[in-house]
Amino acid sequence: MTATHALLVALGGAVGAPARLLVGHWLRTRWSAVPPAGTLAVNVGGSLLLGLLVGGGAGPGWLTLLGTGFCGAFTTFSTLALEVWEAVEDGRRAEAAAVVGLSLVLGLGAAALGYALAS
Amino acid sequence: MPAREGAFPDARLLGAVAAGGVLGSLGRWAVGLALPHTAGGMPWATVVVNVTGAFAMGLLVAFLVDRPGVHRLLRPFVGVGMLGGWTTFSTLAVDVVQLGAADRVPVLLGYLVGTLVVGVAAVGAGAALGRRVWPGP
């Protein structure tokens, strides 16, 4: 059971992490987006998906593969914290506030939306 | 992050990020097993991975400053893969929604504001430590 779950987490993580890289790359090259926009996009998308899974009562296998594995690796807190810290350090307070505000409003909103839609 | 703007992420870059993602995700999952939380309680496992991952990100950035010779896959492997896999925003967001649905407002605010404030400060602490350990060329 635990070995199967470890395998599901690894599989989801192996897909989720490169998927985040590709989303960021696509937003930067196709839409000339700044890097924090890529972080915001994956965090909002991953929160929506996890909200749907948890709200919809997904089984433990799906939760482990898509929730713990994919959504966990697709979304990131470390890069978000880095982007906020860098903006604060460089005195770009408006950017720091925008990154935090948008992450909270859109990220939590997406999670709540997914949760409500699926429940 | 791709090595060069405009260059499509190649197989080695994607492979390095995927490998890091597997390691980070398995680590986060193990922390979750070690620190289970009750419904309506503080999700300590997620706090631990997010704060330590932010600290490690600060260390990584300090290490990489002025190091043009470092292997091009190091930052994607560690920064995007391992730390991206180790930390999570989606669990934080859904935990907050569930704490809100359960009317656990003090826990919700402590978790959300605490993770953000301590997490951003942890990047700074990691960077400060990194600058002392690796003063640069």
Give residues 85 to 104 of A whose Cβ lies within 8 Å of B.
85, 88-89, 100, 103-104
A79 touches B: beta carbon within 8 Å: yes
Give the residue numbers spanning the domain of A81. Answer: 3-118
B79–A69 CB contact, under 8 Å: no
Instruction: Domain count for chain A, please give it.
Output: 1
Q: What is the pLDDT of residues B46-57, one digit of tens each?
A: 999 999 999 999
Which residue's entry shows tokens 């690894």?
A10
Q: If you average pLDDT over each of B5-14, B68-77, B108-117, which comes out highest? A: B108-117
Q: How many C-beta atoms surround the C-beta of residue B78 within 10 A?
A: 23
pLDDT tens digits, residue range B75-103? 999 999 999 999 999 999 999 999 999 99
Instruction: Summarize the annotated binding site of B as residue ranges.
Output: 84, 87
Give the pLDDT score at B8: 73
CB A65 within 8 A of CB A11: yes
**Identity of the residue in A24, A43, A115 whose CB atom sits nearest the CB atom of B89:** A43
Q: For chain B, which residues make up each domain, given as ranges?
A: 11-133
For residues B88 and A77, is the Cβ–Cβ distance under 8 A?
A: yes
Q: Binding site for Na(+): residue ranges of B?
A: 84, 87
The burial class, CB within 10 Å (0-12 / 13-18 / 19+), for A118 is middle
Shortest distance between the Cα of A17 and any Cα of chain B, in A, equals 5
Cβ pairs bridging A and B (under 8 Å)? 185
Q: Residue B111 pLDDT more than 70?
A: yes
The secondary element (H helix, E strand) that includes residue B128 is helix B105-133
